[in-house]
Chains A and B, each alone.
Chain A
Amino acid sequence: MLSFDSLSKTYADGTHALSAITTKVAPGEILALVGGSGCGKTTLLRLVAGLDQPSAGKIALNGDVILEPRADVGVIFQEPRLFPWLSVAENVAFGLSHLSAFEREGLVTNALVRVGLAGYEKRWPRELSGGQQQRVAIARALITRPKLLLMDEPFSALDATTRASLHGHLLSLWEESRPTVVMVTHDVEEAVTLADRIIVMQPRPGRIFDELDNPLARPRDRLSPTFEAAKREVLRSLDRSLRDEEPQQSKAAETAGMWW
């Protein structure tokens, strides 16, 4: 169980990135965070990853408060962030240095098959396309069998076809050990394809606007009417979240205008 307890984050420059986030994520649940830019999605993910510290409130995984990166939490970033000086196999095995070379090799081979990159072990990252690099990053994050997987718009830089096939790869890897997943995305279709629950966030300060359960059974057919309906529901909520924000913004603009 991953729980957020009135989590807030204010950066040193005064930016109020997150305010009073409280929610729970069940084991094995896939949670998607959607929302306009600047609503604190990435900040939230960095806090869960232990890369930043919350200003108030806390995040706990199975009761342990998260203050620093943990062995059972995997992260997939927006960019592949592979180590260019390591081969594909060495990149994937980066988190396995406690195992013997033999054990590592077996796991790596299996992981690369799972992301459709069998036979790429000896390649350098620079020889791969963007989509292939992101697949290596997925394999690197999942090979340690994390209990919690965090993804920050992992497919946003890829074309629609590649993205769809990576969704498939990701779900098949997720099936293996069913980690809890928290993902940030700005793609509503992606959220509806992958997530069990979708949280719509609102900016300034970042907060939860709406929580939507996704009732669709897997595998999900993107072309079915129920999928379309679920997608429309999320879009409507997202729309409202942006509209609600507008009056506030114009008020702020007015006040700014009054200053002189």
Chain B
Amino acid sequence: MSALEIETSSEAKERPAASRTPRGLGIAGLLLPIALAALWEFLVGAGLANGRLMPPPSVVGKTLWRLAVSGDLLTHATATLWRVAAGFGLGAAVGTVLGALTGALPVARGLLDPTLQALRSIPSIAWVPLFILWFGIFEASKVALIAVGVFFPVYLGVAAAILSIDRKIIEVGRVFRLSRFAMVRRVLLPAILPAWIVALRSGLGLGFMFVVAAEIMGASEGLGYLLVDGQQLGRPDTIIAAIIAFAVLGKLADGLLIAITRPFLAWQDLGRDKL
């Protein structure tokens, strides 16, 4: 959490000042990458290093700009984002439902969990040939691969969260004679919400990992295609531009997820910034 985020949260005024990240430290994190970039720029500019395989920041910046102006960057980024969104939606939905089932019902846990745990130990990329045979070489196989990648962290997170709900708080629900449905809606769901969001975030991270894999294996557009394209044309600046685009998109998507879910977690009693 950055200093700014803590500042804006509502409880900031009640926290001791020492618990906040000092403002200077957020900037300190930028010093190293900027210094390295400046050094590389200088070395290449002064002719002390060859910038062909590792282009200096100015060249990468120019490539990014060219891609942005031509509209290619938007096309590729949109294609990638669409795949991640579809795969994430699918994987997160199935993972949540199955995680809730195995977490809540011992029968479902006995039946499903061993199989799912076994499937989990398969490296997800291993599915690619099969998925291509099953779903063709176009979008469906890519979305399926991403969905598989997103599924497991979400499934594990939700199942574990349900198993770790405090018995004491469920008893309060029993004392108030909640129906099964009301118990789920009023006690279980809110109780697992923080863990669910963490699971979604790690799922989203894996979604971006798998979209690269899927696009490298064969695509005509997308940031992953841009990577392969850069390799085949011998354009490292294109590759680095695509990597930067991935970093920005991943961070933005994660930030969006945090921003959307933050209002639902305002109740949390977190003292972790202090540690």
The residues of A with any CB-CB pair to B shorter than 8 Å are 49, 51, 68-71, 73-75, 77, 79, 81, 83-87, 94-95, 97, 124-127
Q: How far is the CB of B263 from chain A (nearest CB, A)?
A: 12
Inter-chain contact B175/A126, CB cutoff 8 Å? no
Q: How far is the CB of B245 from chain A (nearest CB, A)?
A: 37
Choose from B11, B174, B267 the contact partner of A85 (Cβ within 8 Å).
Answer: B267
Residues of A within 8 A of B168 (CB): 77, 79, 81
Inter-chain contact A83/B169, CB cutoff 8 Å? yes
The residues of B with any CB-CB pair to A shorter than 8 Å are 11, 14, 168-169, 171-172, 174-177, 182, 186-187, 190-191, 193, 266-269
Inter-chain contact A83/B269, CB cutoff 8 Å? no
- The residue in B168, B172, B191, B193 that gathers the most chain A C-beta atoms within 10 A of its C-beta is B172
Inter-chain contact A49/B175, CB cutoff 8 Å? yes
Within the assembled complex, what's the spacing in Å between the Cα atoms of A83 and B165?
12
Residues of B within 8 A of A124 (CB): 266-267, 269
Residues of A within 8 A of B186 (CB): 94
Inter-chain contact B175/A84, CB cutoff 8 Å? no
Inter-chain contact A127/B14, CB cutoff 8 Å? yes
Choose from B171, B182, B190, B269 the contact partner of A51 (Cβ within 8 Å).
Answer: B171
Within the assembled complex, what's the spacing in Å between the Cα atoms of A71 and B169?
18
Within the assembled complex, what's the spacing in Å between the Cα atoms of A150 and B97?
37
The 9 closest A-B pairs by CB, nearest first: A126-B269, A85-B190, A85-B267, A75-B175, A95-B176, A124-B267, A81-B172, A69-B175, A69-B177
Inter-chain contact A69/B174, CB cutoff 8 Å? yes
Within the assembled complex, what's the spacing in Å between the Cα atoms of A242 and B169?
34
Choose from B14, B174, B182, B268 the contact partner of A84 (Cβ within 8 Å).
Answer: B268
- The residue in B174, B182, B187 that gathers the most chain A C-beta atoms within 10 A of its C-beta is B174
Within the assembled complex, what's the spacing in Å between the Cα atoms of A87 and B267?
8
Inter-chain contact A84/B172, CB cutoff 8 Å? no
Residues of B within 8 A of A74 (CB): 175
**Known: A84-B267, A84-B269, A85-B267. Is A70-B171 also a contact (CB below 8 A)?**
no
Closest partner residue, chain B, to A84 (CB atom): B267
- The residue in A73, A81, A127 that gathers the most chain B C-beta atoms within 10 A of its C-beta is A81
14 contacts between A and B (CB under 8 A): A68-B177, A73-B175, A75-B175, A77-B171, A79-B168, A83-B169, A83-B172, A83-B187, A84-B268, A85-B191, A85-B193, A87-B267, A124-B266, A126-B267
Q: How far is the CB of B155 from chain A (nearest CB, A)?
A: 23
Within the assembled complex, what's the spacing in Å between the Cα atoms of A89 and B175?
18
